[in-house]
């Protein structure tokens, strides 16, 4: 409903839209809250009702119940579904209110909503269900987020900075844990708030250290949630994010270590050494488990060519198994999941179909999005739920100590790291890294499962820290990034020149290293790539795709994208760059000439593998060759998806765009000269396939003629390759299109016409055309909610496994 209103005029409607949105939001929140409390009330009532019928069974015959309430059987799924629905509606709501999402990051809003819902529940039932239990969190909510992060991890920057990331993750977390733990113990011993009811000095050193280890870990969920909105440059993003992922191993080890020590009561040197060993085992073990499952998944995907439908399932299942297997052995589940996703991705993507790839991408995004929303809401609810022990000294000192520890840690480590890095980290970078150390739900869950007697005060402190980092740091990081003019993410797509030169540079630097005679990064990377190409790819990738070097794969992807884009945009405008350009192949071909029909088609049409060729042909067939069908009839049965719902406003926009374009054309008449007609359909298909806008002019004609709803101006069916005579000028058309046609006629004469592409010039009503555009849109690609994401993802895959 809202989307249809939007194109027609925003100003007056905008404000009422926002108000409507807010109203909707409030209603939904209240509704959900009350429903939740109601169903809980019903469930408690039905419990009591259960007991009675057993005894009264044989005394009286009850009449047949036409309508009854039997809530118990479905209570659990029902409540889960309600929560997920609440989370999704919240997400919807925030994006309806335009200005709010710019100022406040989503995570803050979600926590507030959680607080609200928790408050409602508490009022309604006087108790809140413990929704953020650790089992739900670690088994259901966390894996999708981590898998999403791991599968789409940008491998090249990650591996290039792995040393730095490990330093921050391991040494930084250790430093934080001991610093905070130790100093908080000191504070507890020294200070004592006479108004509090807790005797702080009873908290021993080990619980304090345990607390320190829980609170010191940077949380991937929170980092993702906040950093995604600030679009910071790749290096900083991968540093903070990588740190948040890899410190899981450290956290797991420290946590179990201190827990064991607390139970056993004493620490010895052997235990400390065992702790160190255990750390290596946890980290490396997790990675190995993940890599193992990743290779299994890649291998399985090799054989799925006949059962394409379940391909995504393998990806998800193997990854989840990796996570669970790691958890069984107390290894780091997060690292296992990351390793699995990163290892399997290059091979799986070479094996699976385009649609499976899209499915995987969208499922992962959907699950991780919902998970994240739920986590934050539950955080809010859990805050309201527990009984808190407010001890001001403990709380404030925790907050201050965490901040101080983080800053000292980052600065100190950077000082050491910069000695080894080539691209040094500046002060600005250090500030962002320190400031981006957000804590989140993992810390909360770990605190939740504590068995300590001081659990309550720890939990309160953890929640305070989480709130502080998410609210204060989360909200202020965006303006700070602007203020400090930190470099932002480079949003532009990768061009083929950049790709060529990246590969070129790789080989060049490897060569120079060889000449210099020492084994540096590039040498080892090169060796790994060779090994990969020679052995691994042959095993894990099906068919002849295993031989395809990265550059060629990139090029094919680019071509496919161009072909698809060309179809979507109605077959005319320039695709590849943002500048309108009239440069075409003939501008760069050397002047010596051979008949244009034969040679250019050779040069321009890349030799594709069969599968690819089929795909591209399929795309083009549906667009170019079947213009006849488009002209004549609109047959709903040939459509895959019903285009009608959203068709209208898109149509409207398209029409308007076309009209604007025509107007612009009128002013550029000197460019309306037609390139030399090259008669073969292969040629024009090839030109379209290669994405070059050599058909700039016919496209304009197409657009020009679309304006006129001239039903007489179409070509007879069956006239595909027959040269058509353009006699339709007599038909009532708008003067613009007539003028354009004149130009065509002048240059080409009345006999020969470009068979497939110029026939597009004689289109009938724009409405049909628009609808067909819609159908093609659906058939070929799913635009999805975030086209930018789409592009980013595909150009993300700079794996170390090129040619």
Partner 1 sequence: MGATQTHSEYQYENMVGKTGFSTEQIKNLHMRFQQLSGNEKTLRREHLKNIPALANNPIKTEIIEAFFDKRNQLDNELGSYEEIGFEEFLMVMSHFRPLSIKTSAEEKTAMRKQKVRFLFNMHDTDGDGKITLEEYRKAVEELLSESGTIGQEVARAIADAAMLEVASTNVPNMGPDDFYEGITFEHFEEILKDLEMESRMHVRFLDMNTANLRCGQ
Give, as ranges, the residues between 560 and 619 that touch partner 1 (CB under 8 A): 574, 576-577, 579-591, 603-607
Tokens coding 184: 């908080």
User: Closer CB to partner 1, residue 49 or residue 521?
Assistant: 521
User: Closer CB to partner 1, residue 308 or residue 503?
Assistant: 503
Q: Write the binding mask 653 to 682 for partner 1: x where contact by CB under 8 A, - elsewhere.
A: ------------------x-x-x-------
- Tell whether residue 516 is a contact of partner 1 (CB under 8 A): yes
Whether residue 559 contacts residue 689, with contact meaning beta carbons closer than 8 Å, is answered with yes
CB of 446 to partner 1, least distance (A): 38
| Residues contacting 167, CB < 8 A, separation 6+ | 413, 416, 417
Residues of span 376-435 touching partner 1 by CB under 8 A:
418, 422-424, 426
- In Å, how far are 22, 74, 367, 676 from 87, measured between CA atoms? 16, 20, 12, 58
CB of 656 to partner 1, least distance (A): 25
| Helical axes 392-417 vs 173-190, angle rounded to 10° | 150
DSSP 3-state of 232: strand
Contacting residue, 551, 659, 661, 779, with partner 1 by CB under 8 A: 551
| Helical axes 681-689 vs 550-568, angle rounded to 10° | 110
CB of 509 to partner 1, least distance (A): 6
User: Closer CB to partner 1, residue 601 or residue 765?
Assistant: 601
Q: 97: how many CB neighbours lie within 10 A of its CB?
A: 16
CB of 688 to partner 1, least distance (A): 14
Contacting residue, 23, 123, 484, 505, with partner 1 by CB under 8 A: 505
- Tell whether residue 692 is a contact of partner 1 (CB under 8 A): yes
Q: 128: how many CB neighbours lie within 10 A of its CB?
A: 20
Which of 69-77, 197-205, 506-514, 615-623 is the region at the interface with partner 1 (rule: CB under 8 A)?
506-514
Distance (Å, whole) CA 767 – CA 773: 10
- Tell whether residue 542 is a contact of partner 1 (CB under 8 A): no
CB of 374 to partner 1, least distance (A): 38
Contacting residue, 15, 488, 547, 636, with partner 1 by CB under 8 A: 547
User: Closer CB to partner 1, residue 73 or residue 491?
Assistant: 491
Whether residue 186 contacts residue 285, with contact meaning beta carbons closer than 8 Å, is answered with no
CA nearest neighbour of 154 among 383, 494, 424: 494
DSSP 3-state of 488: strand
CB of 118 to partner 1, least distance (A): 47
Contacting residue, 6, 74, 140, 512, with partner 1 by CB under 8 A: 512
Which of 442-450, 519-527, 643-651, 755-763 is the region at the interface with partner 1 (rule: CB under 8 A)?
519-527
Count of chain residues binding partner 1 (CB under 8 A): 71
Contacting residue, 15, 57, 489, 501, with partner 1 by CB under 8 A: 501
User: Closer CB to partner 1, residue 48 or residue 587?
Assistant: 587
User: Closer CB to partner 1, residue 8 or residue 591?
Assistant: 591
Tokens coding 313: 């399932």
User: Closer CB to partner 1, residue 53 or residue 590?
Assistant: 590
Which of 440-448, 521-529, 738-746, 754-762 is the region at the interface with partner 1 (rule: CB under 8 A)?
521-529
Contacting residue, 304, 510, 708, 726, with partner 1 by CB under 8 A: 510
Beta bridge mates, 488: 232
Contacting residue, 492, 653, 719, 729, with partner 1 by CB under 8 A: 492
User: Closer CB to partner 1, residue 102 or residue 577?
Assistant: 577
User: Closer CB to partner 1, residue 549 or residue 784?
Assistant: 549
- Tell whether residue 37 is a contact of partner 1 (CB under 8 A): no
Tokens coding 704: 């020009």
Residue environment code for 753-763, b if the CB has 16+ CB neighbours within 10 A, otherwise e: bbbbbbbbbbb
- Tell whether residue 552 is a contact of partner 1 (CB under 8 A): yes
Distance (Å, whole) CA 506 – CA 682: 37
Q: Write the binding mask 448 to 487 for partner 1: x where contact by CB under 8 A, - elsewhere.
A: ----------------------------------------
User: Closer CB to partner 1, residue 375 or residue 620?
Assistant: 620
Distance (Å, whole) CA 803 – CA 800: 9
Which of 32-40, 55-63, 497-505, 781-789 is the region at the interface with partner 1 (rule: CB under 8 A)?
497-505
Whether residue 218 contacts residue 439, with contact meaning beta carbons closer than 8 Å, is answered with yes
CB of 512 to partner 1, least distance (A): 5
CB of 491 to partner 1, least distance (A): 10
Whether residue 140 contacts residue 131, with contact meaning beta carbons closer than 8 Å, is answered with no
CB of 781 to partner 1, least distance (A): 21
User: Closer CB to partner 1, residue 4 or residue 424?
Assistant: 424
User: Closer CB to partner 1, residue 309 or residue 516?
Assistant: 516
Beta bridge mates, 232: 488
Whether residue 627 contacts residue 698, with contact meaning beta carbons closer than 8 Å, is answered with no
Which of 51-59, 223-231, 520-528, 623-631 is the region at the interface with partner 1 (rule: CB under 8 A)?
520-528
Distance (Å, whole) CA 785 – CA 782: 9
Distance (Å, whole) CA 485 – CA 753: 56
- Tell whether residue 68 is a contact of partner 1 (CB under 8 A): no
- Tell whether residue 522 is a contact of partner 1 (CB under 8 A): yes
For the chain, what's the residue count?
Answer: 803
CA nearest neighbour of 618 among 557, 563, 691: 563
Residues of span 255-274 touching partner 1 by CB under 8 A:
none
CB of 492 to partner 1, least distance (A): 6
DSSP string, 593-617: ---TTHHHHHHHS----HHHHHHHH
- In Å, how far are 7, 76, 133, 181, 458 from 445, measured between CA atoms? 46, 21, 7, 18, 12
- Tell whether residue 507 is a contact of partner 1 (CB under 8 A): yes
User: Closer CB to partner 1, residue 75 or residue 546?
Assistant: 546
User: Closer CB to partner 1, residue 545 or residue 655?
Assistant: 545
Distance (Å, whole) CA 105 – CA 112: 11
DSSP 3-state of 452: coil
- Whole-angstrom distance between the N-terminal and C-terminal Cα of the chain? 50
Contacting residue, 91, 355, 428, 523, with partner 1 by CB under 8 A: 523
Which of 128-136, 137-145, 385-393, 690-698 is the region at the interface with partner 1 (rule: CB under 8 A)?
690-698
CB of 414 to partner 1, least distance (A): 11
Give the residue carrying structure tokens 């409903």: 1
| Helical axes 333-351 vs 311-328, angle rounded to 10° | 160
| Residues contacting 133, CB < 8 A, separation 6+ | 448
Contacting residue, 163, 412, 511, 732, with partner 1 by CB under 8 A: 511
CB of 673 to partner 1, least distance (A): 6
Distance (Å, whole) CA 218 – CA 437: 5
Distance (Å, whole) CA 723 – CA 643: 34
- In Å, how far are 228, 256, 317, 459 from 449, measured between CA atoms? 30, 12, 27, 10
CB of 521 to partner 1, least distance (A): 7
Contacting residue, 271, 513, 791, 793, with partner 1 by CB under 8 A: 513
């Amino acid at each position: 409903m809202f989307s249809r209103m939007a194109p027609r005029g925003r100003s007056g409607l905008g404000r009422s839209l926002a108000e409507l949105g807010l109203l909707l939001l409030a209603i939904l929140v209240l509704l959900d809250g009350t429903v939740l409390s109601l169903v809980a009330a019903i469930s408690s009532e039905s419990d009591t009702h259960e007991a009675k019928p057993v005894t009264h069974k044989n005394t009286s015959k009850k009449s047949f119940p036409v309508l009854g309430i039997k809530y118990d059987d479905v209570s659990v799924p029902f409540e889960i579904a309600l929560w997920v629905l609440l989370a999704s509606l919240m997400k919807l709501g925030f994006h309806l209110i335009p200005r709010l999402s710019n100022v406040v990051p989503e995570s803050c809003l979600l926590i507030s909503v959680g607080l609200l819902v928790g408050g409602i529940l508490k009022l309604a039932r006087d108790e809140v269900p413990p929704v953020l239990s650790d089992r739900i969190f670690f088994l259901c909510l966390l894996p999708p987020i981590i898998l999403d992060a791991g599968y789409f991890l940008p491998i090249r920057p990650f591996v290039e900075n792995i040393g730095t990331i490990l330093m921050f993750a391991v040494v930084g977390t250790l430093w934080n844990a001991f610093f905070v733990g130790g100093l908080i113990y000191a504070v507890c011993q020294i200070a004592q708030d006479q108004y509090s009811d807790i005797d702080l000095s009873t908290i021993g050193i080990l619980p304090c250290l345990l607390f320190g280890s829980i609170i010191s870990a940077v949380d991937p969920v929170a980092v993702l949630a906040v950093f995604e909105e600030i679009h910071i440059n790749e290096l900083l993003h991968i540093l903070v994010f990588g740190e948040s992922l890899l410190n899981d191993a450290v956290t797991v080890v420290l946590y179990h270590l201190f827990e064991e020590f607390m139970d056993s009561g004493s620490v010895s040197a052997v235990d400390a050494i065992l702790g160190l060993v255990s750390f290596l085992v946890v980290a490396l073990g997790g990675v190995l488990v993940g890599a193992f499952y990743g290779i299994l998944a890649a291998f399985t995907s090799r054989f799925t060519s006949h059962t394409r439908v379940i391909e995504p399932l393998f990806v998800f299942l193997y990854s989840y198994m990796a996570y669970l297997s790691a958890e069984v052995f107390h290894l780091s589940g997060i690292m296992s999941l990351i390793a699995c996703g990163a290892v399997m991705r290059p091979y799986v993507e070479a094996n699976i179909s385009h649609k499976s790839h899209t499915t995987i991408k969208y499922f992962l995004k959907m699950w991780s999005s919902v998970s994240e929303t739920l986590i934050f809401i539950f955080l809010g609810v859990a805050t309201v739920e527990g009984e808190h022990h407010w001890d001001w000294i403990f709380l404030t000192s925790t907050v201050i100590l965490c901040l101080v520890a983080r800053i000292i840690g980052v600065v100190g480590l950077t000082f050491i790291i910069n000695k080894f890095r080539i691209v040094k980290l500046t002060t600005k970078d250090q500030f962002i890294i320190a400031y981006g150390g957000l804590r989140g739900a993992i810390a909360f869950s770990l605190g939740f499962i504590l068995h300590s007697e001081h659990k309550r005060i720890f939990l309160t402190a953890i929640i305070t820290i989480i709130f502080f980092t998410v609210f204060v740091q989360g909200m202020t990081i965006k303006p700070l990034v602007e203020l400090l003019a930190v470099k932002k993410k480079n949003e532009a797509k990768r061009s083929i020149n950049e790709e060529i030169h990246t590969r070129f540079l790789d080989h060049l630097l490897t060569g120079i290293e060889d000449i210099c005679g020492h084994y540096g990064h590039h040498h080892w990377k090169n060796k790994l790539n060779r090994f990969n190409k020679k052995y691994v790819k042959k095993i894990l990738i099906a068919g002849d795709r295993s031989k395809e070097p990265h550059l060629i794969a990139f090029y094919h992807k680019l071509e496919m994208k161009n072909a698809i884009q060309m179809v979507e945009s109605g077959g005319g405008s320039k695709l590849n760059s943002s500048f309108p350009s009239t440069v075409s192949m003939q501008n760069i071909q050397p002047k010596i000439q051979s008949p244009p029909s034969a040679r250019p088609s050779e040069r321009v049409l890349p030799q594709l593998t069969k599968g690819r060729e089929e795909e591209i042909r399929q795309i083009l067939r549906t667009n170019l060759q079947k213009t006849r069908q488009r002209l004549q009839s609109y047959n709903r049965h040939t459509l895959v998806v019903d285009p009608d719902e959203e068709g209208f406003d898109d149509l409207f926009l398209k029409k308007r765009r076309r009209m604007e374009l025509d107007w612009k054309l009128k002013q550029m008449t000197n460019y309306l000269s037609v390139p030399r007609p090259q008669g073969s359909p292969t040629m024009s298909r090839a030109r379209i396939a290669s994405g070059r806008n050599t058909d700039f002019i016919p496209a304009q004609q197409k657009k020009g003629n679309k304006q006129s709803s001239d039903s007489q101006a179409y070509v007879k069916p069956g006239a595909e390759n027959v040269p058509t005579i353009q006699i339709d000028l007599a038909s009532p058309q708008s003067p613009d299109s007539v003028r354009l046609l004149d130009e065509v006629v002048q240059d080409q004469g009345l006999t020969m016409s470009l068979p497939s592409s110029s026939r597009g010039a004689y289109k009938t009503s724009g409405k049909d055309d628009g609808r067909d555009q819609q159908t093609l849109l659906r058939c070929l690609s799913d635009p999805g909610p975030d086209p930018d994401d789409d592009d980013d993802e595909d150009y993300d895959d700079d794996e170390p496994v090129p040619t």
